[in-house]
Structures are given as C-alpha cells and as structure tokens.
Amino acid sequence: MEENNQNTEAPVDPSVEKLTKIKKELLSWIYIIVTVFAFKSSFFEPNHIPSGSLLPTNAIGDFILVNKMSYGFKLPYSDLFGDPIYLTTPSDPKRGDIIVFRYPRDRNILYVKRVIGLPGDEVEVYNNKVYLNGKLIETKPVAKEEYIDLFDDKFDKKGIEFEAVELDGKKFVTAVNNSMPYHLNIPKVKVEKGHFFVMGDNRDYSSDSRVWGFVPFGHIRGRAMLVWFNMVYPWSKEKFHFRPWRIGTLL
C-alpha cells in the first residue's frame, strides 16, 4: 500500500501574511517609541535655548541635556498633565542649579533659569545686587573679552558688564547693563514652602521670579547638565549662529 505524501495544509493567503508583517512592524515601532519617551520622561531629555536670558552661561541656540533624575526618580509619563509622581524620596534643587521647569502661568511653556532662593529664604534684588537672607551675594568684575561675542546686536554691548558669582560653591558669571536707566528690582520676599526663587544670568534681559513669582517644585523637570550642540535655526527670529565650540560646555 502506497504512503500518501500529499501536503494537506491550507495555502496561506498573501494578503493575510502581509497584514501580519505590518502589525509586527507597527508593534515594534510602538515599543521603540514608548521606550524612548519613557526614557525621556524619567532619565534625560534634550532642550533648546531660544532666548538670551541665561547669557553668558547659556548662549542663544544651545541644545542642553537635562537630567530628569537630579531631584528624584519619576514614574514615566507621570508629568505629562500635572505634577510628577516620584518613586523615590524627592530632594530640593540646590542654590546655583540651572533648572528646566514649566512656566508657573502656563504649564505648556518650558523655562530655563538659575535657582537663587530655596524654601524659607528671604530674597531681595536692588540694582542687580542680590541679597540672600539679609546678606549681599558678593560679585567680582570680569573682563568682557571672553563673553561679549555671545551677545548679538540686539543687546547694548557697550553697557554690558560681567560679574563672577559664587553661590553655595557654584561658580558662574552674570551679565548686567549698567547703562540702563533702571533695573528690575524686587523688595524682600520670603520664598514659600515647596517653591523656588529663580533668575536669569542676563540680569536686565530676563523675565523671572522678579516678575511672575516662585516656581513650584512640581513644575521642575530637571537640572541642566551640559551643552551638546549649538545652532540658531536659519528660519528663527534670532540671527543664525553655529557655535561648535559650545559642545561639551558643563552647566
């Protein structure tokens, strides 16, 4: 008796096979996107500096890397629509840290500023002099040559002067325009619990806590670590710049 070797399997419909491959590919891309955005949400994320409020520390066009774990580990995606959920005990930023945060008056806008006052601190600013808990934060003049090229023509370069500052061990340089008829002052205020007083290093060209108040801790996304690229887009309102020597600048 002869053995029957005929294949009894039903033929595969090419359209079904193609659809299966498409589903697998889409699923792979979904996994990749979810993983990348989870990483961005909880670990590190890039941000772009579009303005000159942090000159000379951050140049216009700097692309910065933000450490999202600096003040605690967040549950991925938990900060998309409100305050993040922390999986570890959160810690406050330190004075002198550059932080990226959601603008207190519009959470859809990201701001970058430097922390000056912590909860409970008393802060006063008069003629670009900052008083912290009743004591003047000392400054020393710095030569213009190292920093002035970062400022474009929309700034009054003749009036700009630079000052070296040390705040809780953090050293940085601020810019002040002593030719301006007035400066943005603020009388002594006490920083509320769970909030922070922030300022831009470009003192006379920065909208910060002197204008719109304190930053709630829940609005903070992370601490700026370094500059990984610098370019002002050709289609931007700002003058086109490409500064490769900014790459690797620590913040």
- Residues serving a catalytic function are 53, 113
Size of the chain, expressed as the number of residues it contains = 251
Among 181, 204, 206, CA closest to 128: 204
Rounded distance, CA 111 to CA 96, Å? 16
**Pair of tokens at residue 167:** 């705040």
Rounded distance, CA 114 to CA 121, Å? 15
Which residues are 202's β-sheet partners?
Answer: 175
DSSP H helices in the chain: 14-42, 209-212
Where does 119-233 show beta strands of DSSP type E? 122-126, 129-132, 135-136, 139-142, 160-167, 170-177, 186-190, 195-199, 215-216, 220-232
